[in-house]
Structure 1
Amino acid sequence: MRVCANLPASGRDVRLDLFRGLANWAIFLDHIPHEVLNSITTRNYGFSDAADLFVFISGYTAALVFGRIMIERGYVAAASRLLRRASELYAAYIIVVVIYIAVIAWVSQQLHDPDDLNQFNIGVFMSRPLWQAVQALALRYTPVNLDVLPLYILLLGTFAPALWLMVRKPTLILICSMAVYFVARHFGWNLAASPSGSWYFNPFAWQFLFFLGAWIALDGSHAIQSIIRSTAAFWLAIAYIVFALIVTTAIRAPELGSLIPHWILQLFDPNDKTNLAPCRVVHLIALAVAVTRFLRLDSPVLQWRALAPLIRCGRHSLQVFCTGIVLSFCAHAVIELSLNSLWAQVFAGAAGILLMTAVAYFWTWPKWTIGRAGRGGRSILQPRRPAIVAGLKPID
């Protein structure tokens, strides 16, 4: 079978970095209980939230980067890079689990507050550390707020065998992914988690969002370009976004809920996040249609200095995400110590975002290596250049 993927031109789409950075900030704020700043995140104004956006962009980016590597250098090169990236994510996950557990256990001991151990699913680990350590290595045990990283690891790992066919028959892979999504929702498929229960992000359902992003990167953007650019599609997307805003607001505010027929609210409450309710997928697609209409690739808005921190966080999303996970608990502890005072909520949220941004900027500093200078053999410091594959800048 010949390659039929229609990849965009080489170069970095800054919009991906922007929205991935925005997703990281929102995930950090959403993970802090009793945090006033998380009232501005997208989960309060529609069916989808930062997790949906993160998985969708991850699928798009994976197909864009590794699909081009496969076309130019072959499947073995692309698959090996994919698996290496998955192993890096796995190593980062294990490290952050260890740090996260240690921080929560230490803070809980110092504050004499054992409730946090149960609230963040650490008490289970403390009762059987060796067994749960093995379960963590198998991605079966996950502390609270870390669920999206095992999902990403699994999706990236399973993307390697699908990539060969994805660049040849992207629509076929999308149809198969959609079939798995609906069958899993119908029969209740999910992976088991330790000590009991199942994955918070059902991978059989969430893989559809990942492969939808991959399909758009490889073929979908060309296949549906005329539909996306049509006035009817745009206004239909706007109408659905407004409808989602009204329903979500009504569900969160009972005094407004009485203004909407009860049977309508029942369709969307609860908003099934574990099994990725269809309304979440449609909402994310509607947002993508609206955003791409207003924010084009060459938009001068992307050059605004005010957006530079978000873009930088998106370029180093793994480091920023892992930092945000630990900082979210630290912010929670500060807010609890202040008895949920407003100033502490604002300070903890703002300080966490500043620290995450500092980590992103730190990762862009030149990495220096020891080199040899000319004939004298004198040791000097030389900047190490990042590897560029197939004309692409490295993506973290």
Structure 2
Amino acid sequence: MPEKRAWRKQQEIGIGMVKARENRIDLIRGLSLLLIFVGHSSFSFSEGLQHSRGFADASELFVLMAGISAALAYYPRGGALDFPSLAAKPLRRAGKIYAVHVALLVGLVGLFSVGLAKDLPIFAQASAILGLTGFWSDPLGNLASIFLLRYMPGNFDILPMYVILIACVPLFLYLNDRAPKLLICGSLLVWLGAGFGHVNFVNTALPEGHWYFDPLSWQLIFLIGLVIGVRLKTGRPALPYNRALFIAAAAFCVLAVPANILFHFHFIEPPSEWLYRAMTSKTNDGILRLVNAIAIVYVLWNIEAVRRLADGSFLQPICVIGRHSMPVFITGLLLSDLMTVSMGLPRSLTLPEQILLMTAGVLLQLVVGQYLEARKNCTSLSRSHPAPAEAKGATR
């Protein structure tokens, strides 16, 4: 108990809040990556697992953590905001994500084009399952639309959403320091307008004709994470403990699980179907999803056991994939598409086979994370201990 009170006090006064790495961010983000993979893989249990966590799912948690991480990465330590220099790194990052997205989609289309040209049945089936069939009705036009972020089948509009959100980071950080009330009010108005007005970007690959993840809606939860991250970067308590707020958040998280299961799977019909759909819309990040995600993170952040687990060695493999979130996410995205194709084939996979595939996919992502971490550590070691000049000369 004295140790617990000391830790609570440490949070309240902000001591020790800025450290080399906040492992709770990595832990939540790593768990979110694995849950996103399972949720997108179309296993027979994917939907049940996705809706057994309440109104929100791993996507909200991941975007919230992405906002926190963006602030830690791009907000200057001294707090002196020079907009041109502030904009350089996030825009470069957004450009890299855009290039990866285009390369992935063009590569996928190229692979399917070769497979279909050779009349391989598996590619025709997979093309239909992934929603790629319509591409070949206008290949040149759709290829141009890939570069314009207007043609994105399946879950491929997630990376473009991050391109837009990361590109907005300089403006968000600048306004957060200069006019925080204007920033929050503006973000809320955009979120409300996008939700009620159904304002979205065009995506010709989906039957709905718009992005599945609307950046105009999802910018709010990303911005909330960004504001939390700025507090963390400047040594203030990120999510300060308040007993009443903690109890309310925990109660909401607990009650949201049965409520969402009962309503989503129609065990009980909601009083207003339209209102319930609006409040739990994934495209527009409805209010119940938004509040639920914030409540989950607030509760996890203020449980000492979570902090200890994140800083310990047992869950470090999950923290590692959280540290290398983008390459692991891309790996999970490709694997989930592969699993979706496997689930859509004429021969139905048994439950043990699905569990085996899921386990293999999770382990592969953990292996990718470990490989990237080892490579990063080797690079850091070589930079901190450069080879002596004599040794370099001897090897020439």
TM-score by length of 1: 0.82
Q: What does 1:197-276 align with in structure 2 at a 5 Å threshold?
A: 197-219=209-231, 229-254=241-266, 256-257=267-268, 262-263=270-271, 267-269=275-277, 271-276=280-285
- Which residue of structure 1 lines up, in the alignment, with residue 3 of structure 2? none
Larger mean CA deviation between 130-139 and 328-337 belongs to 328-337
Q: Which amino acid aligns with 1:235?
A: I
Question: Once the two structures are superposed, what CA deviation does each residue of 1:78-113 show, in whole Å capped at 9, x if it has no partner?
Answer: 211111111111122122223444556677864446
Residues 74 and 118 (structure 1), Cα distance of their counterparts in 2 relative to 1, 3 Å cut: same
Q: Which amino acid aligns with 1:161?
A: L
Larger mean CA deviation between 93-102 and 201-210 belongs to 93-102
Alignment match of 2:147 (pick from 124, 137, 160): 137
Asked if the contact 1:371/1:379 (under 8 Å) is kept, the reply is: no
- Which residue of structure 1 lines up, in the alignment, with residue 4 of structure 2? none
Residues 375 and 356 (structure 1), Cα distance of their counterparts in 2 relative to 1, 3 Å cut: closer
- Which residue of structure 1 lines up, in the alignment, with residue 99 of structure 2? 91
- Cα distance in 2 for partners of 1:333, 1:268 equals 31
Q: Which amino acid aligns with 1:29?
A: V
Residues 348 and 159 (structure 1), Cα distance of their counterparts in 2 relative to 1, 3 Å cut: same
Q: Which amino acid aligns with 1:301?
A: L
Asked if the contact 2:66/2:222 (under 8 Å) is kept, the reply is: yes
**2:387 counterpart of 1:379:** no
Residues 107 and 320 (structure 1), Cα distance of their counterparts in 2 relative to 1, 3 Å cut: farther
- Which residue of structure 2 lines up, in the alignment, with residue 391 of structure 1? none
Asked if the contact 1:29/1:35 (under 8 Å) is kept, the reply is: no
- Cα distance in 1 for partners of 2:224, 2:61 equals 12
- Cα distance in 2 for partners of 1:76, 1:70 equals 16
- Cα distance in 2 for partners of 1:332, 1:35 equals 10
Report deviation, 1:154.
0.6
Q: Which amino acid aligns with 2:152?
A: T
Asked if the contact 1:100/1:326 (under 8 Å) is kept, the reply is: no
Question: Once the two structures are superposed, what CA deviation does each residue of 1:51-73 show, in whole Å capped at 9, x if it has no partner?
Answer: 11111111111122211267368
Report deviation, 1:373.
4.4
- Cα distance in 2 for partners of 1:191, 1:240 equals 32
Alignment match of 1:312 (pick from 307, 320, 341): 320
Local SS of the residue matching 2:76: helix
Report deviation, 1:243.
2.3
Q: Which amino acid aligns with 2:256?
A: A
Residues 220 and 182 (structure 1), Cα distance of their counterparts in 2 relative to 1, 3 Å cut: farther
- Which residue of structure 1 lines up, in the alignment, with residue 297 of structure 2? 288
Q: Which amino acid aligns with 1:52?
A: E
Asked if the contact 1:47/1:280 (under 8 Å) is kept, the reply is: yes
Larger mean CA deviation between 207-216 and 218-227 belongs to 218-227
Q: What does 1:1-396 align with in structure 2 at a 5 Å threshold?
A: 9-36=18-45, 39-41=48-50, 43-68=51-76, 71=79, 74-102=82-110, 110-112=120-122, 114-195=124-205, 197-219=209-231, 229-254=241-266, 256-257=267-268, 262-263=270-271, 267-269=275-277, 271-295=280-304, 299-336=307-344, 338-364=347-373, 365=375, 366-367=378-379, 373-374=389-390, 377-379=393-395
Report deviation, 1:222.
9.6
Q: Which amino acid aligns with 2:170?
A: A
- Cα distance in 1 for partners of 2:274, 2:232 equals 33
Question: Once the two structures are superposed, what CA deviation does each residue of 1:298-330 show, in whole Å capped at 9, x if it has no partner?
Answer: x32223433111111111111001111111122
Question: Once the two structures are superposed, what CA deviation does each residue of 1:349-369 show, in whole Å capped at 9, x if it has no partner?
Answer: 110111111111111222479
Report deviation, 1:159.
2.0
* Structure 1 vs Structure 2 CA RMSD: 3.2
* Larger helix share, 1 or 2: 2
Question: Once the two structures are superposed, what CA deviation does each residue of 1:25-72 show, in whole Å capped at 9, x if it has no partner?
Answer: 11111111134366444x322111111111111111112221126736
Q: Which runs of 5+ in 1 are unaligned?
A: 1-5, 381-396
- Cα distance in 1 for partners of 2:190, 2:223 equals 11
- Cα distance in 1 for partners of 2:100, 2:212 equals 20
- Cα distance in 1 for partners of 2:258, 2:156 equals 30
Report deviation, 1:285.
1.5
Report deviation, 1:224.
10
Q: Which amino acid aligns with 1:312?
A: V
Report deviation, 1:138.
1.2
Local SS of the residue matching 1:81: helix
Asked if the contact 1:334/1:348 (under 8 Å) is kept, the reply is: no
Local SS of the residue matching 1:378: helix
Report deviation, 1:275.
1.1
Residues 183 and 30 (structure 1), Cα distance of their counterparts in 2 relative to 1, 3 Å cut: same
Asked if the contact 2:130/2:153 (under 8 Å) is kept, the reply is: yes
The percent identity for this pair of structures is: 27
Report deviation, 1:134.
1.3
